[in-house]
Amino acid sequence: MDNIKVLIVDDQTLMRDGLKTIIDLEDNMQVIGTAKNGQDAIEFCKNNKPLKGVISFYCDVN
């Protein structure tokens, strides 16, 4: 089975790094990128195809 590709989006570096550390411990998951805001996430998704996203509820898109 293929790894679940994850994009982590949060405005706080500590949160992004912490989630990446936790997800990297899973055998079937792979963090393919991080973004600090919604706009960066949209740009990332245009060029990449994450299967799942971990997104902050308070993340700016503009």
Domain ranges, ordered by start, for the chain:
4-55
Residue 61 near residue 42 (C-beta atoms within 8 A):
yes
Query: Are the CB atoms for 7 and 53 separated by under 8 Å?
Result: yes
* pLDDT of the residue at 59: 57
Q: Tokens in use for 15?
A: 């949160």
- 12, two tokens: 């706080």
Q: Structure pTM?
A: 0.79
> Looking at the domain that runs over 4-55, which CATH code has it been given?
3.40.50.2300
- Give the largest Cα separation in the chain, rounded: 36
Cα within 13 Å of Cα(36), Cβ side? 3
Q: Judge whether residue 17 has pLDDT over 70.
A: yes
